[in-house]
Amino acid sequence: MNEVKAKKFLGQHFLTDENIAQRIVESLSMESLHVLEIGPGMGVLTKYLITRANTDFHVVEIDRESVVWLHEHFPTLDVIEGDFLRYDLTSLFHDSFSIIGNFPYNISSQILFKVFDNRGQVKEVVGMFQKEVAERVSAGPGSKTYGILSVLLSAFYNIQYLFTVPEHVFNPPPKVKSAVIRLCRNGVNTLECDEKLFVQVVKAGFNQRRKTLRNALRQLGVSLEDVPESVLGKRAEQLSVDEFIKLTKIIESCQ
């Protein structure tokens, strides 16, 4: 399988614009001393990342041909061959670290859920996503694109939509625009509620986002009697992160 077909199969497209590659790398804070690149492919970001001073840098790549290419062109680079989604991040870094990459579009949401699950370690993410995913993640309350990832990630990260990337700077060109966003830990270590229940409430609310919370939360099988009618009459997209935390605390107190 040639490299373009391999990456297309994996849902990834080669970035060919060096200026954009540099801009992505420069979006990563200089305080990031431990960095993991996901899906480096033929190293368009890697060649800029590997020159960063005092950086403990690793890459994880699932495509065998790309792994061979990386070993040949960056012989000192630590290349982890495998699936990032299945990789135990605690075995690689003992301290906090940053993630960067031109992420495969077909697993980009799964990557962000893994970031959320490892929020105690992942302090920063700079990544290229399909534009609609980037907009969804960075959206705020009241937006039609505001959703599960918006809430879960915003609880622990400050999220910035950095810039839009056109289709023609990729090979093969995707059928959609792309965008780069940055997530930085906001200093919140724990929520003032049961975090497992918080996730369940957020997911239940948005899984039936056209329904009011009164109806959407029924699937949880929890008591809603102490939740104000002013909240139950709203839809999930109308609640901020803080309001979801307050809602979770009320539900928690009724159990």
Give the burial string for 232-255 (b: 16+ CB within 10 Å, else e).
eebbbbebebeebbbbbebbeeee
Question: 157 and 107 in one domain?
Answer: yes
Going 97 to 72 to 4 to 45, the CA torsion angle's sign is positive
Question: 126 and 38 in one domain?
Answer: yes
Question: 148 and 30 in one domain?
Answer: yes
Question: 169 and 67 in one domain?
Answer: yes
Boundary of a domain, candidates 163, 185, 207: 185
Query: Considering the domain boundaries, does residue 174 fall inside one?
Result: yes
Question: 208 and 88 in one domain?
Answer: no
Query: Considering the domain boundaries, does residue 204 fall inside one?
Result: yes
pLDDT (tens place) for every residue of the chain, 255 residues total? 334 433 443 446 789 999 999 999 999 998 888 999 999 999 999 999 999 878 899 999 999 999 999 999 999 999 999 999 999 998 888 889 999 999 988 899 999 999 999 999 999 999 999 999 999 999 999 999 999 999 999 999 999 999 999 999 998 888 899 999 999 999 999 999 999 999 999 999 999 888 999 999 998 988 888 999 999 999 999 999 999 999 999 999 877
Q: What is the CATH number of the domain that holds 9?
A: 3.40.50.150
Question: 169 and 52 in one domain?
Answer: yes
Question: 65 and 16 in one domain?
Answer: yes
77-97 residue pLDDT tens = 999 999 999 999 988 888 899
User: Which whole-number Å values give the CA distances from 189 to 54, 58, 167, in the listed order?
Assistant: 27, 26, 38
- Strands 178-185, 122-130: pairing is antiparallel
Q: What pLDDT is recorded for position 53?
A: 74
Query: Considering the domain boundaries, does residue 190 fall inside one?
Result: no
Spatial CA neighbour of 176 closest among 186, 184, 168: 168
Question: How many independent structural domains does the chain possess?
Answer: 2
Which domain, by its residues, includes 78? 3-185
Boundary of a domain, candidates 145, 166, 185: 185
Query: Considering the domain boundaries, does residue 79 fall inside one?
Result: yes
Q: What is the CATH number of the domain that holds 240?
A: 1.10.8.100
Boundary of a domain, candidates 185, 204, 231: 185
Question: 209 and 131 in one domain?
Answer: no
Question: 213 and 109 in one domain?
Answer: no
Query: Considering the domain boundaries, does residue 218 fall inside one?
Result: yes
130-157 residue pLDDT tens = 999 999 999 999 999 999 999 999 999 9
Question: 208 and 147 in one domain?
Answer: no
